[in-house]
Amino acid sequence: MALQQILDKTSALNETGEVKLDIGGYDYCIVQVVSPTGTVSFATSNDANAIQGASDGSAISSLNYTTVQGTNLATSAAVSSLAASGLVRFGYIGQFLMISSPASVGKLIIRLFKIY
């Protein structure tokens, strides 16, 4: 059995140019990008930017991202970005996933899965 959570982050990406998600409690996620006007890139980090004794940090405060590869579900190729509509699956990567683009997208849907 599996639990899932579906997030529509279209507005967030189009308004700010990046979306940061805490995916650490999930087994994998699938990102769907629809009609991007440019390249959408993917990166990961374990650095929540915690301040010892004051803050545990969060996806919002996270930093020190590095490019990450997922699997393009149409081609099975490893990709770290998309310049066209598509779906990318990410397995066990860092705690945080950042999706960024200077361009806009028609849709950005993230589906998170927890298998139990």
Each residue's pLDDT expressed in tens, for the chain with a length of 116 residues: 789 999 999 999 999 999 999 999 999 999 999 999 999 999 999 999 998 877 788 999 999 999 999 999 999 999 999 999 999 999 989 999 999 999 999 999 999 999 98
Q: Which domains does the chain have, with CATH numbers?
A: 2-115 (2.60.120)
Write out the H or E segment, with its range, that includes residue 15.
helix 10-16
Cβ-proximal residues to 76 (8 Å cutoff; 6+ apart), any chain: none
Q: What is the pLDDT of residue 31?
A: 98
Q: What is the pLDDT of residue 75?
A: 98
Task: Give me the residues paired with residue 13 across strands.
Answer: none
Q: What is the pLDDT of residue 106?
A: 98
- Burial string for 81-104 (b: 16+ CB within 10 Å, else e) reads bbeeebbbebeebbbbbbbbbeeb
Hey, how many other C-beta atoms are within 10 angstroms of the C-beta on 51?
Answer: 10
Radius of gyration of the chain, Cα coordinates, nearest whole angstrom: 14
- Rounded CA-CA distance 115/95 in Å is 17
Q: What is the pLDDT of residue 54?
A: 76
Residue whose tokens read 């769907």: 32
Hey, how many other C-beta atoms are within 10 angstroms of the C-beta on 60?
Answer: 10
Q: What is the pTM assigned to this prediction?
A: 0.94
Q: What is the pLDDT of residue 7?
A: 98
Q: What is the pLDDT of residue 2?
A: 82
